[in-house]
């Protein structure tokens, strides 16, 4: 099922641009009419592109339009957090066809977690049984080295250090596998929805992490470790600086992470074990939980003010389990960012919680997976496996 390079270029163009006529394809690519026709024949024969109705031309003669077939295959998606994994099967346009959620304990090590992910993906009630998977994407709550998908010195992922996830999980799923950091996946999901080329997503759950989209791309840094907001130093105003899970003291996460809030509420005599217990108290309106979350918002705000000064994003989006705190969390962020960043950087800056906090990671991973599967060096393998 070999596809020529030119035909592969045409598939990528139609996926990115939406339906186009032959003439529009010619204008966008500079290809001669005969070249457009032969490449269209090729992608139509491979069933990667379909006719999408027609448009009335200037002389009244309808011109056929062609679009990328989002039902030509499916994507397997696993958005794995510290305590739960969301699994989904999506079409090639990122639409969720089936999904489920299973509990995981990320610190239990790769074997039980990847077993649970594989089994849950295998048992998804697929509504697109006929369409074979093209690629898979998994996000994990730790630093992911790119492009090899290796986990490097993760603070909470005991037993995962040095693991090249594609080598272990890819063969079990039977498709090429992309690995991403969880906050990066969510940041990309927000980008695909809002269209903003510059945004920062802060995931506040058990821990704290950030994903950065800059100039329309995920900002990864040299090795994939960019966005580690949770382990930046929080200016302390107390004598005993709290110890962080990473082994250092005074990290943002050691004040503002769900685990740190749970620790502090326990010290106040409340029965709190997990971030889920914290959100339950918030929902019930417990004043001590609200006070702790507001304090967490101020710590996050002090750190994000520096982020805003450095990156000048259009949006700061707060997601993760503690995003349910809403304004209790956002007010401290707003206050610090407004006080410390330049007016030019804050004038049109939006600070909000995610509108789809539970699904935005899946959205981001699906969009990344299809772009990745269509890359020139990968598309041949993807089609060969999907067609076999
Ligand atoms: Zn830390």
Q: How much is the pLDDT for 1?
A: 59
Tell how far the Cα of 230 is from the centroid of ligand 1, in angstroms.
6
Whether residues 27 and 166 share a domain: the answer is: no
CATH number at residue 130: 3.30.420.40
Tell how far the Cα of 252 is from the centroid of ligand 1, in angstroms.
7
Whether residues 117 and 232 share a domain: the answer is: no
* Exposed / middle / buried, residue 251 (Cβ in 10 Å: 0-12, 13-18, 19+): buried
Neighbours of ion ligand 1 (CB under 5 A): 231, 244, 246, 248, 251
Whether residues 173 and 229 share a domain: the answer is: no
CATH number at residue 24: 1.10.10.10
Tell how far the Cα of 322 is from the centroid of ligand 1, in angstroms.
18
Count CB atoms within 10 A of the CB of residue 50: 17
Whether residues 252 and 282 share a domain: the answer is: yes
From 21, 42, 68, the end of a domain falls on: 68
Tell how far the Cα of 247 is from the centroid of ligand 1, in angstroms.
6
State the virtual CA torsion across 184, 189, 192, 198 in degrees, nearest 10. Answer: -40
Strand-pair partners of 209: 203
Tell how far the Cα of 339 is from the centroid of ligand 1, in angstroms.
25
The pLDDT tens digits of the residues spanning 266-283 come to 999 999 998 999 999 999
Tell how far the Cα of 283 is from the centroid of ligand 1, in angstroms.
28
Asked if residue 264 lies in contact with residue 292, where contact means CB atoms within 8 angstroms, the answer is: yes
Helices (H), 195-286: 253-256, 258-267, 275-283
Task: Report the share of the chain in percent with pLDDT over 90.
Answer: 79
Which residue segment(s) compose the domain that 352 sits in? 187-357
> Nearest CA to 143 among 211, 216, 213, 214?
211
Tell how far the Cα of 321 is from the centroid of ligand 1, in angstroms.
19
Q: How much is the pLDDT for 223?
A: 84
Tell how far the Cα of 249 is from the centroid of ligand 1, in angstroms.
7
Whether residues 103 and 60 share a domain: the answer is: no
Q: How much is the pLDDT for 60?
A: 65
Whether residues 372 and 255 share a domain: the answer is: no
Band of residue 155 on the pLDDT scale cut at 50, 70, 90: confident
CA dist 333 to 57, 234, 270, 301, 350, Å? 53, 13, 26, 4, 11
Whether residues 133 and 216 share a domain: the answer is: no
Domain count, the chain: 3
The pLDDT tens digits of the residues spanning 357-387 come to 889 999 999 999 999 999 988 998 898 888 7
């Amino acid at each position: 099922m070999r596809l020529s390079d030119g035909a592969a270029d045409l598939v990528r163009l139609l996926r990115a641009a939406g339906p186009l006529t032959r003439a529009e394809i010619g204008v966008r690519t500079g290809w001669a009419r005969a070249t457009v026709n032969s490449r269209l024949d090729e992608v139509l024969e491979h069933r990667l592109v379909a006719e999408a109705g027609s448009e009335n031309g200037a002389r009244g003669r309808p011109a056929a339009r062609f679009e990328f077939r989002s039902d030509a295959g499916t994507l397997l998606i696993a958005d794995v957090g510290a305590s739960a994994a969301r699994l989904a099967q999506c079409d090639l346009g990122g639409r969720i066809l089936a999904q489920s959620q299973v509990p995981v304990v990320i610190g239990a090590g790769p074997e039980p977690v990847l077993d649970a992910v594989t089994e849950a993906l295998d048992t998804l009630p697929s509504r697109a049984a006929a369409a074979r998977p093209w690629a898979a994407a998994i996000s994990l709550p730790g630093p992911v080295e790119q492009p090899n998908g290796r986990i490097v010195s993760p603070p909470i992922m005991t037993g995962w250090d040095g693991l090249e996830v594609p080598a272990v999980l890819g063969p079990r799923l039977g498709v090429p596998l992309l690995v991403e950091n969880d906050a990066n996946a969510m940041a990309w999901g927000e980008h695909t929805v809002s269209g903003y080329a510059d945004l920062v997503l802060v995931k506040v759950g058990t821990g704290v992490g950030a994903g950065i989209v800059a100039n329309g791309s995920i900002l990864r840094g040299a090795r994939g470790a960019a966005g580690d907001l949770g382990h930046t130093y929080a200016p302390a105003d107390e004598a005993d600086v709290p110890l962080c899970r990473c082994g250092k003291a005074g990290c943002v996460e050691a004040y503002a992470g769900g685990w740190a809030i749970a620790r502090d509420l326990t010290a106040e005599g409340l029965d709190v074990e997990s971030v889920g217990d914290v959100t339950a108290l918030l929902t019930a309106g417990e004043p001590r939980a609200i006070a702790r979350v507001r304090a967490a918002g101020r710590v996050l705000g002090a750190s994000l003010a520096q982020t805003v000064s450095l990156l000048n994003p259009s949006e700061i989006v707060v997601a993760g389990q503690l995003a349910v705190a809403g304004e209790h969390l956002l007010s401290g962020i707003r206050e610090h960012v407004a006080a410390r960043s330049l007016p030019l950087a804050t004038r049109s800056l939006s600070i909000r919680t995610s509108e789809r906090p539970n699904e935005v990671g899946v959205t981001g991973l699906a969009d990344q997976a299809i772009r990745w599967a269509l890359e020139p060096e990968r598309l041949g393998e993807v089609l060969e496996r999907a067609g076999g």
